[in-house]
Structures are given as C-alpha cells and as structure tokens.
C-alpha cells in the first residue's frame, strides 16, 4: 500500500516553477477560485524582475516570494506542491527529482519529461510517498489523463487513437477550405499556435511523446518515443483534400497505438479519416482522443488541447486532487517493443509530367509487390506537366506499399516523390 505524504493545514501551498503562458494563467485561474484551498507561496523564473511586471503577476498573492534561485522553492518549508511549468527535459528533470526527494508533491504539464523519464519519476514519487500528477501533459484542458486513469481503469483498453497536436489540427483543418500548407502554417504562426520553427509539431515529435504517455496509462505499455514512426504533415497539399473529399474522407495528423501480439503497433502522421469518424470532427486547435475498450467500447474525449487557460485548468485540477487527498489508482506498465507496420488501405498521390503508359507502369510496380488497386481518381483542370492523380489500394502492409512507392519515385515522369498515406476505416474494422 502506497503511503501518501500527509498535507498539513487547510491550504495547499504551491511553489511555481515557470511564469510563462501556462504559469501566469495558472495564477489567474487560481485567483478566481478563492475556495480552492490552494495558495501560491513561491514563484521561480529566470529574470524574475521582468516577470513581476507581467500583467498577470497581480494574480500572485502579494506575500509570495519571487526568486531566481530554484532551491528556494524545491526545499522550502512553505511549499507542499511544486508545480513545474517551464518545459524541456533539462534542468526540469533534475529539479523535479530534488523536489520529490524533498518530499514535495509534484504537478507538471511537461510531456517530454513524462514521456521520456516518467517511469523513473513515478518510481521515485512512490518511494518517497508523494504524488506526481501530469494531467496537462496530454491534450491540455481535455481531462483525458484522469479520465483514462480513473474512469477507464476498470476496462481493458486495447487501442487509443486521436489528434494530439492542436497546431497540426489547425493547419490541416485550415487546408480543408482550400489553403496550401505554407499559407495555413503562416496563419497558425500569426495566431500564436505554431512556433517559428514548427518542426516538433508538424513532424510529429510532440504527438508521439503524448502517445507514449497515453500508451503507458491506457495500454500499460512502456514504449520508447523514438521507436514510434513519425511522419511530417508538410507534404500534404490542397489537392489531397479535394481527392480525400471524393473518397468521403478528410486529412488529420493521427496518433495511434494498439496492443498486438505482445507488441504495440504505433504510429503518428497524416492519415485519411472518414468524414463520419470522430477524428474528422475536430477543427482548429481542438484535440480528440478515442479509446477502445474490450468491455466498454469506444470513449471519446475532446476539447481545447492547448492555450494558457485550458492548460491551467488541468494543472489546478491536479493540485486540487492532491489538496483533497484524492485516491489515485495505481497502474503498472511493462516495457514493450513498437511495431511500426500496419495493414490498411493506402492513398497514393502522384504528380507526374503526363505521357502515355504512366498508369500501366505504376500498376505494374504495385502488382509486382502484390498490392491490389482499389480505385483511381483523376480530376480535370491541372497542367499536363504537373498532373496530380490518386490511386487507393486494398488493405496491405504499409511496409510493402512503401517499398513499391520507393521504386516508383525513380520513374522518369515523376515530378516529385509520391505521397503515401494510410486510410483509416470507420468503426475500426481497420485491424493492424
């Protein structure tokens, strides 16, 4: 039986590490909830004088100590819970270890830290009899972490899939109305949803860290984020939405993990999703997670996946759970290997300099690799020297279709390498 470090008094005292977007919003949301029984006593940030001039610094109690010396928070007698809202692996990991060692409960929104070091940090928290909660680390304000941990621990979850990156969802749902990728990315950057260097989001690295966190919780599988194949959304073009629409689909960055034969079949990348599926419903910066349980069936979580206020709500909910001494369900996880391959129909988009015999040449390569064609789509009105058309395949292993596509990329008439995307099937008859 795990013994949780006791909290003394009626008020839980918070030492805040990081007064940025989420940290300052946490102060604001907390200030609006006088009855929460939570009080900020210390705030750590570099350049703390600059932070004290922040418009939201007024939400921090006047008697709170502002400091640039992290040890003045980690070991402080007037701190019960260290709330880490800085981000990054280093120095956050070392500091949170020190906080746990010192017997402080910890709440963090740091997905990288929980994805890469979560196992060790949970073990340390259990050893020290304190709690480590991270409800904001996946899907921001959507309570998918407590929902899965508390609400679904009675089921046997076999698959999780969803939209875990709001930036990609904003870009792809903007492209649904005809924008090209570059234009949609610029819009996301202007709105503050994408970084100047958007690679962590668009190349799937952010989403795969979150997928690992969900896999540990829902599938009890400890997997290495770097083993999950991640594909960029940067190669998607407006024409793909036109063809996808004809197929009754749209495009989204989808993260999926499923238990299969003692392994986890997992991937992150752009996929075609049927317009009737929950995945296709999410627009803008929304996040969406669908869990599939052996007994309870599908459960959908959806809402704002990012932003100061929604994320701060998740952080404060964790702090309040600690303050209320809410019981946490202990979930074990075991190390599992990742299988990147999957059997599914695929969408192949070619851009060619038109000449006779192209379709026959492509069909020949697919036939040699044992891939059956399902349909061919070609819209009129494109220039003959850059002609986009699409072939969809019957279900086949991704590895097979990718080998065929690599062979086709060298063909004389290809203007650019073919795009190869997996197609999700509604109701998930799509078994990997």
Ligand X SMILES: NC(=O)c1ccc[n+]([C@@H]2O[C@H](COP(=O)([O-])OP(=O)(O)OC[C@H]3O[C@@H](n4cnc5c(N)ncnc54)[C@H](OP(=O)(O)O)[C@@H]3O)[C@@H](O)[C@H]2O)c1
Contact region with ligand X (CB under 6 A), list: 13-21, 33-41, 122-130, 364-372: 13-21
Both tokens of residue 165?
């990156």
Nearer CB in complex with ligand X: 210/339: 210
Stretch that binds ligand X, among 32-40, 71-79, 80-88, 99-107 (CB under 6 A): 80-88
Interface positions, 102-141, toward ligand X (CB under 6 A): 109-111, 136, 140
Q: Given the rule CB under 6 A, which of 20-28, 318-326, 356-364, 393-401 is the region that contacts ligand X? A: 20-28
Nearer CB in complex with ligand X: 18/269: 18
Q: Which is nearer to ligand X, 21 or 291 (CB)?
A: 21
Could you give the angle at which helices 166-175 and 181-190 cross, rounded to 10 degrees?
130
Is residue 185 involved in binding ligand X (CB under 6 A)?
no
CA atoms of 209 and 227, how far apart (whole Å): 11
Site for ligand X in 47-66 (CB under 6 A): 47
The correct pick among 307, 345, 388, 418 for binding ligand X (CB under 6 A) is 307
User: CA of 182: how far to CAs of 122, 174, 205, 389, 428, in Å?
Assistant: 41, 11, 19, 21, 32
Q: Given candidates 2, 46, 71, 226, which one binds ligand X under the rule CB under 6 A? A: 46
18 binds ligand X (CB under 6 A): yes
> 21, 165, 173, 277: which one contacts ligand X (CB under 6 A)?
21
Q: Which residue is nearest to ligand X (CB)?
A: 20
Binding-residue total with ligand X (CB under 6 A): 21
Active site residues: 210
Q: Which is nearer to ligand X, 85 or 279 (CB)?
A: 85
d(CA 80, CA 123): 19
Q: Contact region for ligand X (CB under 6 A) — 41-49, 178-186, 246-254, 340-348?
A: 41-49
Q: Could you tell me if 392 and 374 are in contact, meaning their C-beta atoms sit under 8 angstroms apart?
A: yes
- Long-range contact set of residues 188-197: C-beta below 8 Å, sequence gap at least 24: 193/166, 193/167, 193/285, 193/306, 194/167, 194/170
Which alpha helices (DSSP H) does 129-180 contain, by range?
144-146, 166-175
Cis ω on the peptide bond leading into residue 91 (within 30° of 0)?
A: yes
DSSP string of 251-265, one letter each residue: EEEEEEEEEETTEEE
Contact call for residue 162 and ligand X (CB under 6 A): no
The total of other beta-carbon atoms located within 10 Å of residue 239's CB is 17
165 or 392: CB nearest ligand X: 165
Neighbours of 384 (CB within 10 A): 9
The closest of 160, 130, 162 to 318, measured between CA atoms, is 130
Nearest to ligand X of 58, 372 (CB atom): 58
* Residue 137 main-chain phi, psi, to 5 deg: -75, -20
Least Cβ distance, residue 312 to ligand X (angstroms): 9
Q: Which stretch binds ligand X (CB under 6 A): 181-189, 294-302, 306-314, 320-328?
A: 306-314
Contact 220, 259 (CB under 8 A): no
Q: And the tokens for 241?
A: 């939405």
Structure tokens at 346: 């695929």
Tell me the closest approach of the beta carbon of residue 303 to ligand X, in angstroms: 12
| Contacting residues toward ligand X, per CB under 6 A | 18-23, 45-47, 85-87, 91, 109-111, 136, 140, 306-307, 311
């Amino acid at each position: 039986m795990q013994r949780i470090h006791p909290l003394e008094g009626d008020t839980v005292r918070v030492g805040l590490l990081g007064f940025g977007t989420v940290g300052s919003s946490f102060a604001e949301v907390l200030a609006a909830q006088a009855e929460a029984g939570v009080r900020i006593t210390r705030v750590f940030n570099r350049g703390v004088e600059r932070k004290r001039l922040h418009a939201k610094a007024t939400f921090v109690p006047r008697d709170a100590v502002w400091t640039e010396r992290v040890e003045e928070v980690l070991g402080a007698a007037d701190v019960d819970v260290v709330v880490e809202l800085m981000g990054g692996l280093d120095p956050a990991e070392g500091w949170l270890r020190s906080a746990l060692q010192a017997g402080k409960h910890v709440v963090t929104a740091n997905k990288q830290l929980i994805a890469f070091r979560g196992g060790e940090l949970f073990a340390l928290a259990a050893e020290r009899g304190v709690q480590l909660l991270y409800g904001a680390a996946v899907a921001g304000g959507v309570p998918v972490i407590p929902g899965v941990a508390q609400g679904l621990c009675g089921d046997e979850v076999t698959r999780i899939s969803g939209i875990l990156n709001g930036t990609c969802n904003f870009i792809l749902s903007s492209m649904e109305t005809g924008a090209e990728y570059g234009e949609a990315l610029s819009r996301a950057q202007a709105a503050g949803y994408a970084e100047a260097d958007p690679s962590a989001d668009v190349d799937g690295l952010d989403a795969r860290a979150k997928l690992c966190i969900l896999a540990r919780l829902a599938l009890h599988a400890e997997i290495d984020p770097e083993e999950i194949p991640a594909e960029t959304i940067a190669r998607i073009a407006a024409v793909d939405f036109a063809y996808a629409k004809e197929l009754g689909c749209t495009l989204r960055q989808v993260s999926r993990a499923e238990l299969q034969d003692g392994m986890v079949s997992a991937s992150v990348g752009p996929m075609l999703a049927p317009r009737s599926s929950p995945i296709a419903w999410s627009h803008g910066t929304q996040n969406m997670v669908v869990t599939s349980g052996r007994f309870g069936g599908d459960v959908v979580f959806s809402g704002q996946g990012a932003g100061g206020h929604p994320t701060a709500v998740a952080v404060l909910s964790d702090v309040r759970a600690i303050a209320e001494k809410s019981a946490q369900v202990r979930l074990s996880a075991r190390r599992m290997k990742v299988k990147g391959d999957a059997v599914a129909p695929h969408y192949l988009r070619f851009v060619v300099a038109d000449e006779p015999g192209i379709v026959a040449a492509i069909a020949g390569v697919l036939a040699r690799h044992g891939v059956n064609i399902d349909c061919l789509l070609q819209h009129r009105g494109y220039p003959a020297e850059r002609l986009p058309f699409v072939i969809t395949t019957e279900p086949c292993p991704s590895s097979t279709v990718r080998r065929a596509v690599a062979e086709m990329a060298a063909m004389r008439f290809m203007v650019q390498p073919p795009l190869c995307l997996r197609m999700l099937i509604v109701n998930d008859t799509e078994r990997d």
